[in-house]
């Protein structure tokens, strides 16, 4: 995608003037003195999310236990309602999506359901750049089956420590692999994997494949049904702005409707059977059966308001602005920060780049501390990565321009030297 580029502040202001999503910025609580570029770790609070949380609190206040079936949004079916609202963002049908659990709990649930080792196929295929929590869960699932993770968890290597080559992943899809779990977007470099290609190649080899969408859902449109992905899971507190520790989401392809979840629980029952209190589990149809325990209502409620914004903005328009913004960010870095020790670690091609940029520097940890002192909120990742996420719904091009100018000053003047080059407890 060819785009005009200028380095001036006036050009950044011009981009903001013609931004079709600019009005959504007013929907969020923003500190006017701060540039927040950490929405890929925790999205900001919107006024709609606050309102939907307060609405659920009001239902609790007014109805008590009857809030499960009364009020603005009855709690008993809230998980299903939110799943239906999420479905358009990932290209799924409403009953294929449910809001439940957490990222890692949902990975455990899906692995327990779809990992069926046989005499020949015992291995799980992942990669060496994925978020560590996924690896911990897969190691645990292998041990539960009596397998040594050192032998039965295959992690595809990266050629450069930044990105994965799909050819290498496909070459690892041997006849010993029973299940594949990969990220949609790599959490450090922001690379998007070729999901349709990988899914097709896995299925050609008789292997089920699922994806961790934590760093893509809400920033990148997906078409899981069209691509025939078997399952996926993600958190809702990053790009979807549902709040810290918010309830997560999962998708199960309609081809697997009727499969018994590996971990069954009361809330996975058919709604009309749940309170029969029978000792025989009657699973709900679709993804609803993958629920385990009682939903955390007050940690789900903000997602309702947030998803209203996504429905209005449209995921395709969000992606369009995100691509322009990350490209603009990259161009400014190359132009303004040359010779200062920075390296771009994210893919430059639109089709391979997610919603954040990856900037590498030997002094990354202390540079991040300096940015925070300057009231610019970045995200640090070991060993030397500054992640910066210009979120389409609330960040501006002017903020991107100002961030690059601040980075230039911090490094040229060596302002970072007053800090230790070591991460904080929470990076």
Residues at the binding site for pyridoxal 5'-phosphate are 103-104, 131-134, 212, 215, 237, 266, 294
DSSP class per residue in 146-160: T--HHHHEEEEPPSS
Alpha-carbon distance of 358 to 191, in angstroms, equals 10
Nearest by Cα to 175 from 125, 119, 121:
121
Length of the chain: 427
Alpha-carbon distance of 132 to 135, in angstroms, equals 5
Nearest by Cα to 218 from 82, 316, 295:
316
Residues 6+ apart with CB under 8 A from 6: none
Alpha-carbon distance of 92 to 11, in angstroms, equals 39
Query: Which positions make up the binding site?
Result: 103-104, 131-134, 212, 215, 237, 266, 294
Q: Decide: 359 and 386 in contact? Cβ < 8 Å.
A: yes
What is the β-pairing status of strands 231-234 and 208-212? Answer: parallel
Q: Decide: 27 and 47 in contact? Cβ < 8 Å.
A: yes
Burial zone of 25 (CB within 10 Å; 0-12 exposed, 13-18 middle, 19+ buried)? middle
DSSP code of 70?
A: S
């Amino acid at each position: 995608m060819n785009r005009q580029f200028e380095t001036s502040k006036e050009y950044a202001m011009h981009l903001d003037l013609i931004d079709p999503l600019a009005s959504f910025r007013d929907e969020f609580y923003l500190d006017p003195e701060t540039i927040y570029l950490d929405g890929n770790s925790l999205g900001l609070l919107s006024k709609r999310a606050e309102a939907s949380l307060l609405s659920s609190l009001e239902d609790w206040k007014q109805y008590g236990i009857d809030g499960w079936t009364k009020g603005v949004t009855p709690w008993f079916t809230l998980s299903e309602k939110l799943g239906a609202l999420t479905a358009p963002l990932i290209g799924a049908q409403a009953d294929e999506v449910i809001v439940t659990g957490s990222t890692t709990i949902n990975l455990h649930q899906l692995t327990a359901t779809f990992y069926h080792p046989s005499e020949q196929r015992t291995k799980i295929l992942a990669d060496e750049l994925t978020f560590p929590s996924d690896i911990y869960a897969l190691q645990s699932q292998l041990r539960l089956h009596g397998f040594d993770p050192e032998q039965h968890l295959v992690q595809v290597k990266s050629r450069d420590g930044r990105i994965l080559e799909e050819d290498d992943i496909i070459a690892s899809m041997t006849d010993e692999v029973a299940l594949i779990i990969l990220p949609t977007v790599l959490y450090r470099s922001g690379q998007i994997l070729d999901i349709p290609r990988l899914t097709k190649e896995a299925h050609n080899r008789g292997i089920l494949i699922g994806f961790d969408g934590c760093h893509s859902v809400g920033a990148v449109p997906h078409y899981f049904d069209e691509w025939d992905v078997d399952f996926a899971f993600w958190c809702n507190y990053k790009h979807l702005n549902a709040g810290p520790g918010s309830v997560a989401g999962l998708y199960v392809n309609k081809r697997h409707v009727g499969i018994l979840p590996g971990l069954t629980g009361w809330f996975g029952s058919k709604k009309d059977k749940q309170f029969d209190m029978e000792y025989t589990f009657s699973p709900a149809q679709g993804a609803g059966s993958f629920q385990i325990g009682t939903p955390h209502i007050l940690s789900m409620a903000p997602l309702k308001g947030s998803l209203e914004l996504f429905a209005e903005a449209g995921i395709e328009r969000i992606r369009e602005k995100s691509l322009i913004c990350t490209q603009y960010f990259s161009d400014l870095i190359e132009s303004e920060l040359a010779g200062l020790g920075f390296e771009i670690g994210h893919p430059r091609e639109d089709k391979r780049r997610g919603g954040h940029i990856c900037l590498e520097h030997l002094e990354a940890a202390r540079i991040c501390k300096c940015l925070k002192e300057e009231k610019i909120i970045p995200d640090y990742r070991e060993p030397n990565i500054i992640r910066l996420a210009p979120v389409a719904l609330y960040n501006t091009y002017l903020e991107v321009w100002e961030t690059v100018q601040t980075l230039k000053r911090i490094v040229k003047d060596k302002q970072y030297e007053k800090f230790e080059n070591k991460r904080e407890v929470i990076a």
